Structure 1
Amino acid sequence: MRRKQYNKSDFLWTQWNAHDINLAVHQYLDTKQKRYADIKALPKEQRTFANTILALEAADYTVVDGVTCVDFLMHVSPKKLVRETAKKAVDFFLEKNTELEFDEGLYRALKEYAVKKEKLSGEHKKLFDDMLRNYRRMGFGLPTRQQNRLKTITKKLNVLSVQFSKTINDYENSITITQQEAKGLPTSYLTNLRKNKRGQYIVTTSYPDFFTFMKYCSNAKEREKLAHVFFQKGGKQNLFLLKKIISLRNERARLLGYKHHGDFQTEIKMAKSAERAFRFVEDLIKKLRTKTREDISLLTQLKRTHTGDQSVKLAYHDLLFYITKHKKETLDLDDTLLREYFPAERVITGMLDLYSKLFSVTFKRVKRFPLWHKDVQLFSIQNKDSKEIIAYFALDLFPRSGKYGHYAAFNVIHGRQAFPRKEYITPVASMIGNFSKPSKQHPSLLSHNEVETFFHEFGHVMHQTLTKACYASQSGSNTARDFVEAPSQMLENWIWDKNILRNLSGHYQNPRKKIPENVLDNLVASRNHMSGYFEMRQLVLALFDLKAHTTNTIQNLPKLFSDLGVKYIGIEITPKTSLFPAGFGHMAGYSAGYYGYMWAKVYAQDMFTCFERSGLLNASTGKEYRTRILEKGSSMDEVLLVTSFLKRSSTNKAFLRSLGL
């Protein structure tokens, strides 16, 4: 099917000002209202799949694209007024959209079609079944009073969730240190830091500043100071918002007949129930307890040796410092020196070359298209056997004030078939990163961990852009939330292969100079270094998320997280003054779903066994993976997708092996 081809005018939304944003959102609401009115006006005897089910699905087309662009600008625009206007516009749209969605006339139209009992199959049946379930989950069929309360709750949750996320993005804090207090920090890191009028370095809570500081600063008091301000992210305001959000989520769940929000959320995921998600997490915790204790014991002993105090305890602000020190001493790995072999541009080029071979596509830089910031790069994707552009993606890789502070892939335009035209809407995605900025002394240099993150997030981009799903609600990464990470997690495996690392690396001063073989051996051997601690921390986050959404009376969320850390990791992993959940952005989108990272990894590692057998750059296996996983989205049940690719049922053997168990 022919793909829609874009030109510069299709990217003018990146230049929208406050007036443009407000005008666009009102137009989108008017468009959707008219489409819904047409659906409701049809006589019941004339109802068909096309004029009712497909029409309900397509009522959001162009509307969601536009609002997604506004939401995206809220996260990335360098202009504060645009971000603030976008936030208000998204709030306004969500409120009005809820009024449109909670319409008994739409539910009546759906039921009028349902009684015809037309025989459907494949993605069409799945679309219909999911739509019926979603209307039930909105409360249709309940008494009017309860349905109105659900509508009110939905509106409040929409506003509060956007505010929760924006507060995290807007958080800015820092500490200042003198040259003497900067002992242990790499010169390249200090060069990139701003200074105040007294000549002191300003260390912010942005990811590049924070994590490098915590890994290398040998001054424990300064690490403690930075950790303190970092774990205030979101502030007491977000802590209050989060409690309110959780309370409203649980109220909604009970109104719909669920025990709690955990069961409401997991019903539409692979886990199907909070109890099963709990069992999964708790079973892994048991398997990792011994390795976690061993890791913490090693780090504690290292601190005692380093300080000369045999009674000293390991603290939360010591973890990354002594993990880095232990890696250097036992594996002779220095992350600072490794960075020199991973200049960002070299990694981008090598990664695109790899994905090109794996999925039989060609990437081309697109210039002179309007974009939201000068640092952003835009690329087109073409099939190797065709010159037709099948997708676009942007890379926005460096931090700036007000920008989304983590790493993520945004699905800006969803791929789908255009109705009634026989044309496929070309998807557009964007990867947002916060890698260290280039300086006068050197280009942006990535740690190996950041290279892994790059591969992970770009895996989402591939999922979003290589889709061939018929419907937008089933395209790209619109899958069950406990599966959505699997395609990206699987692709992380590539950066642990020596040949791949040779191709990705090249010293920033001399690209022909590759990572020395002995260092490469040690790097690959480090894959499970301190994996007990790192994986247990993920499980503690998952358990915290599940407990927060399955217990109705949790007053002290920071204490809940701290207690779980002490219980399963063995030490306090945040300061006593920590407001950590207030800055845990996943509580907005992944509510009762953070376990999904580990759940998805089971499938990711099992799928990777196919490439282990055939070769990491085997184009035939790549084509199978692209066809059976990436192109399908959620047009089939996720278990069936994996089974189709593996040609057998999935097991957790490869997953446990990847954890060193």
Structure 2
Amino acid sequence: MQTTTTPDPLPLPVPDADWTAFVQRRAADNLAAARAGVEQLAERAAGTGPATDDPAEVMARWNDIGTAIDNVAQLGELLAQTHPDEAVRTVAETCQQDADRLATEIGLDPRLYRVLAGVDADALDAAGRRVLERSLRDFRRAGVDQPEEVRDRLRALAERQVQLGQRFDKNIRDDVRSIRIAPERLAGLPADYRAAHPADADGLVTITTEYPDYQPFKTFATDAAARRALTVEFLNRAWPANDAVLTELLAVRAEQARLLGYADWADYDAEVKMVGSGSAIAGFIDRIVAEAQGPADRDRQVLLDRLRADDPAATGIDAADNAYYAEVVRRERFDVDATKVRRYFDFPAVRDGLLAVTGRLFGLRYREVTGAGGWHADVTSYDVYADERLLGRIHLDLHPRPGKFSHAAMFPLVSGIAGRQLPEGVLLCNFPRGLMEHSQVVTLFHEFGHLVHHVLAGRHDWGRFSGVATEWDFVEAPSQMLEEWAWDPQVLGSFARDETGESIPAELVARMRQANDFGKGYFARTQMFYSSLSYLLHHERVDDITAFSQQLQRRVDAFDPIDGTHFHAGFGHLVGYTSAYYTYMWSLVIAKDMFSAFDPGNLFDAEVAGRYRDQVLAAGGSDDAAVLVERFLGRPYTVDAFSAWLAR
């Protein structure tokens, strides 16, 4: 199947074009192609029509079906999260539902299962055998071997899960809350932030729960009451609407798992991940909580002592104060003032620096494409080259607007198939157009890691292996590792400059790194609270999610819950990650180990970087993640590097 032909990128309409027609046409064409492929395989199962016993041809047809469905699902999910026109977002959601519905029908079709089960695996190459084995596993996990009435129920449950997930996401996306305060209550915030938030006709300033407003406010605003008011609004996004949505979503998943013979959804979901089982998730969480206990207690006490210096009556610390006092401690103890550090990180320079750094590291070249089309004027597109070979196209949509995905993530637009489809990915973020906090720079590097992974792994013959197609609990590791380059003094010095053109001093970056290490213990505990909530909601029957969440937070997190808030309603990862939010920390364990292969004094070592690019990133899902990592490191991965980092 291998070919050297380079396909063209997907032609996109310009922002003011008829995007509804474009989405519907692409969906109709690809769904028709997928259904035609299904019928061809079904005819083979029935012994009617032109059929072939060639295993390679059967698998190629199967590959085509999956690719066509992905083409619809990926476009639908992306535009449902980012198109400025709500009507287009609604059409996109429908197309995604149609693609997922067809995928469910295929997974429950005994005729197709019989065709693939009858393929002679020995007649396939290693890659083909891996696709066949994984596909047969998918059929079993879908319930193809269940009685017809059970398959009908599984089909309905799968469709309902998609609908509920979309509604959960939409409720978060659409529920932008705010506080209105007097201008003097912006004290402590940078001058450009204050300038961007002028008083209205009533003499008040509006601060929203959108990330570019919320994150700086909770970090720098000296007004404790205002911080608390905004934090409460943020933690109540999509409540109460998402309470009922999540309750039904959890019930749907539990019934699916039960019908398929699993103890709960967590066991079902973990089966195809590195972790292997739900009980292993619980064991991993317990281990990280225990390892983080000492560092978390130590650093939390530092924050609490500093809070009490301002408020002697304080008995605890929570989300309204923790980011602010962490910033105070870093400023006072490490001489790092994030409001001053920001002056080195002007958005256009950071974006260009990121491209230069990743280009040098991975041997890539980015060429901006004018007239590439896109859903909004903010979208910038780049073709990605290795030498003179076009590898793929990326689209950057990095600033907030109404109706847009409110966090930061990479969305695939097209999965690369060698000789047929060029990989294309989209970065959706919500950064300011001017000065950025360094934490936002780190986030940009992290998310761009997913984008590079998607493009570099986009030259496989099999859609099954294309892009970020590894086990889900490894997905974050390459991006977490790329964050290390956003902390290196030489790397930052290459693009981080203040208004006079002076590069960020290396000694300041060193202090920033020391300051960032403060709080990693309580960071790990907070991540384990999120992970525990994600896992336990899918493991236990929970009647009052708010009460359960707050009780769990008191037990696992280093910080107290805020009464009257409902964190779970705005916890969007409960849709995509379901019971597996633990994967962020699981991936970090592996990321720390992989980074140990690099010389901190030479992060651009061509041999190590090239080996990592080719053996981990470009490999996509062609092998198990543990095998890819062992191939790169020359040994199985361990927790040693992570444990040493957490303890120091």
TM bracket (short chain): over 0.9
Find out whether 1:636 has 2:623 as its counterpart: yes
Once the two structures are superposed, residues 501-551 of structure 1 have per-residue CA deviations (whole angstroms, 9 ceiling, x without a partner) of: 2113111x223x022344223112223111111121011101111111111
Deviation of residue 30 (structure 1)? 2.3
Find out whether 1:345 has 2:336 as its counterpart: no
Once the two structures are superposed, residues 218-267 of structure 1 have per-residue CA deviations (whole angstroms, 9 ceiling, x without a partner) of: 11111111111111112222111111111111111111111100110000
Which ranges in structure 1 are unaligned for 5 or more consecutive residues? 418-422, 438-443
Aligned position for 1:426 = 422
Give the letter for the 2:227 counterpart: R
Partners of 1:39 and 1:51 within 8 A in 2: no
Aligned position for 2:400 = 399
- Aligned partner of residue 435 in structure 2, secondary structure: coil
Partners of 1:382 and 1:391 within 8 A in 2: yes
Deviation of residue 74 (structure 1)? 1.4
Moved more, 515-524 or 252-261: 515-524
- What is the 5 A alignment of 1:46-445? 46-113=52-119, 116-193=120-197, 195-307=199-311, 309=312, 312-384=315-387, 387-417=388-418, 423-437=419-433, 444-445=434-435
Give the letter for the 1:6 counterpart: D
Which ranges in structure 2 are unaligned for 5 or more consecutive residues? none
Aligned position for 1:646 = 633
Instruction: Say if 1:17 and 1:362 are closer, same or farther in 2 by CA, change over 3 A.
Output: closer
Find out whether 1:2 has 2:8 as its counterpart: no
Instruction: Say if 1:570 and 1:600 are closer, same or farther in 2 by CA, change over 3 A.
Output: closer
Among 554, 569, 585, the alignment partner of 1:598 is: 585
- What is the 5 A alignment of 1:28-39? 28-39=30-41
Q: What is the rounded CA distance, in whole Å, between the counterparts of 1:278 and 1:180 in structure 2?
A: 47
Instruction: Say if 1:545 and 1:429 are closer, same or farther in 2 by CA, change over 3 A.
Output: same
Partners of 1:12 and 1:370 within 8 A in 2: yes
Deviation of residue 117 (structure 1)? 4.8
Give the letter for the 1:174 counterpart: S
- Aligned partner of residue 380 in structure 1, secondary structure: strand
Aligned position for 1:420 = none
Once the two structures are superposed, residues 300-335 of structure 1 have per-residue CA deviations (whole angstroms, 9 ceiling, x without a partner) of: 11011123x255532431111111111111111111
Moved more, 61-70 or 342-351: 61-70
Give the letter for the 1:81 counterpart: A
Give the letter for the 2:226 counterpart: E
Deviation of residue 195 (structure 1)? 4.4
- Aligned partner of residue 492 in structure 1, secondary structure: helix
Instruction: Say if 1:13 and 1:272 are closer, same or farther in 2 by CA, change over 3 A.
Output: farther
- Aligned partner of residue 393 in structure 1, secondary structure: strand
Partners of 1:413 and 1:426 within 8 A in 2: yes
Moved more, 180-189 or 589-598: 180-189
Find out whether 1:529 has 2:529 as its counterpart: no
Q: What is the rounded CA distance, in whole Å, between the counterparts of 2:133 and 2:601 in structure 1?
A: 37
Deviation of residue 97 (structure 1)? 4.6
Q: What is the rounded CA distance, in whole Å, between the counterparts of 2:576 and 2:510 in structure 1?
A: 39
Percent identity of equivalent pairs:
27
Aligned position for 2:548 = 560
Partners of 1:498 and 1:524 within 8 A in 2: no
Among 526, 540, 565, the alignment partner of 2:529 is: 540
Deviation of residue 447 (structure 1)? 1.1
Moved more, 40-49 or 69-78: 40-49
Q: What is the rounded CA distance, in whole Å, between the counterparts of 1:605 and 1:3 in structure 2?
A: 37
Partners of 1:3 and 1:389 within 8 A in 2: no
Among 441, 448, 455, the alignment partner of 1:451 is: 441
Aligned position for 2:468 = 477
Instruction: Say if 1:194 and 1:69 are closer, same or farther in 2 by CA, change over 3 A.
Output: farther
Q: What is the rounded CA distance, in whole Å, between the counterparts of 1:127 and 1:172 in structure 2?
A: 43
Give the letter for the 2:568 counterpart: P
Instruction: Say if 1:165 and 1:211 are closer, same or farther in 2 by CA, change over 3 A.
Output: same
Q: What is the rounded CA distance, in whole Å, between the counterparts of 2:346 and 2:177 in structure 1?
A: 28
Once the two structures are superposed, residues 528-577 of structure 1 have per-residue CA deviations (whole angstroms, 9 ceiling, x without a partner) of: 111111121011101111111111x201222222222212335423x222
Give the letter for the 1:358 counterpart: L
- Aligned partner of residue 11 in structure 1, secondary structure: coil
Moved more, 489-498 or 608-617: 608-617
TM-score normalized by structure 1? 0.93
Once the two structures are superposed, residues 130-179 of structure 1 have per-residue CA deviations (whole angstroms, 9 ceiling, x without a partner) of: 00000000111112222221111111111111111122112211111111
Give the letter for the 2:341 counterpart: L
Once the two structures are superposed, residues 57-101 of structure 1 have per-residue CA deviations (whole angstroms, 9 ceiling, x without a partner) of: 211324422442232111111222212222233334433553354
Give the letter for the 2:480 counterpart: Q
State how many pairs are aligned.
640
Among 581, 599, 602, the alignment partner of 1:615 is: 602
- Aligned partner of residue 364 in structure 1, secondary structure: strand
Once the two structures are superposed, residues 334-378 of structure 1 have per-residue CA deviations (whole angstroms, 9 ceiling, x without a partner) of: 111111101111112222111112111111111122121112111
TM-score normalized by structure 2? 0.95
Among 456, 477, 481, the alignment partner of 1:490 is: 481
CA-based RMSD of the aligned residues comes to 1.9
Deviation of residue 202 (structure 1)? 0.8
Find out whether 1:585 has 2:585 as its counterpart: no
Give the letter for the 2:438 counterpart: H
Q: What is the rounded CA distance, in whole Å, between the counterparts of 2:599 and 2:389 in structure 1?
A: 32
Give the letter for the 1:155 counterpart: E
Give the letter for the 1:361 counterpart: L
Find out whether 1:12 has 2:13 as its counterpart: yes
- Aligned partner of residue 337 in structure 1, secondary structure: helix
Q: What is the rounded CA distance, in whole Å, between the counterparts of 1:199 and 1:60 in structure 2?
A: 57
Give the letter for the 2:486 counterpart: I
- Aligned partner of residue 12 in structure 2, secondary structure: helix
Partners of 2:361 and 2:604 within 8 A in 1: yes
Deviation of residue 621 (structure 1)? 1.1
Instruction: Say if 1:320 and 1:57 are closer, same or farther in 2 by CA, change over 3 A.
Output: same
Q: What is the rounded CA distance, in whole Å, between the counterparts of 2:320 and 2:390 in structure 1?
A: 48
Once the two structures are superposed, residues 465-514 of structure 1 have per-residue CA deviations (whole angstroms, 9 ceiling, x without a partner) of: 0113321121110111000111111111112222112113111x223x02
